[in-house]
Amino acid sequence: DTGVSQNPRHKITKRGQNVTFRCDPISEHNRLYWYRQTLGQGPEFLTYFQNEAQLEKSRLLSDRFSAERPKGSFSTLEIQRTEQGDSAMYLCASSFGTGTVLTGELFFGEGSRLTVL
């Protein structure tokens, strides 16, 4: 399968614990996005990478959240000191683009569902 892969698919954790999610994008895609989706809502932008550079980060993103994309390949999203409000589906998407405007489709992974008890 050459689609976007996310792991783990499900994570249940206790409040205060740290969690890390991994995203493997489509291999030739240089852009990688993280979104968060709660039930009944649209995906909410978290952060965006072009190759290994993190170019955009949502102002809503707490400093408990950090993302990396070493070497411009896979990416990790870490949430420290989780809170119940962090419970959501975390979606990763990738695309290929060279211009300044997004003109290509985003390919989404199936997401990592986080439940914080």
Partner 1 sequence: QQPVQSPQAVILREGEDAVINCSSSKALYSVHWYRQKHGEAPVFLMILLKGGEQKGHDKISASFNEKKQQSSLYLTASQLSYSGTYFCGTADPTNAGNMLTFGGGTRLMVKP
Contact 70, 90 (CB under 8 A): no
Rounded to whole angstroms, the Cα distance separating 70 from 55 reads 14
If the CB atoms of residues 58 and 80 are measured against partner 1, the closer one turns out to be: 58
Q: How far is the CB of 81 from partner 1 (least distance, A)?
A: 26
Q: Which of 90-102 are b and which e, b meaning 16 or more Cβ less than 10 Å from the residue's Cβ?
A: bbbbbbeeeeeee
Q: How far is the CB of 62 from partner 1 (least distance, A)?
A: 19
Q: How far is the CB of 16 from partner 1 (least distance, A)?
A: 29
Residues that bind partner 1 (CB under 8 A): 4, 31, 33, 35, 40-45, 48, 50, 55-56, 91, 97, 100-111
Three-state SS for 81?
Answer: coil
If the CB atoms of residues 102 and 117 are measured against partner 1, the closer one turns out to be: 102
CB-count exposure of residue 60 (10 Å: 0-12, 13-18, 19+): exposed
If the CB atoms of residues 12 and 16 are measured against partner 1, the closer one turns out to be: 12
If the CB atoms of residues 20 and 50 are measured against partner 1, the closer one turns out to be: 50
Q: How far is the CB of 10 from partner 1 (least distance, A)?
A: 12
Handedness of CA 54, 19, 37, 60 (dihedral sign): negative
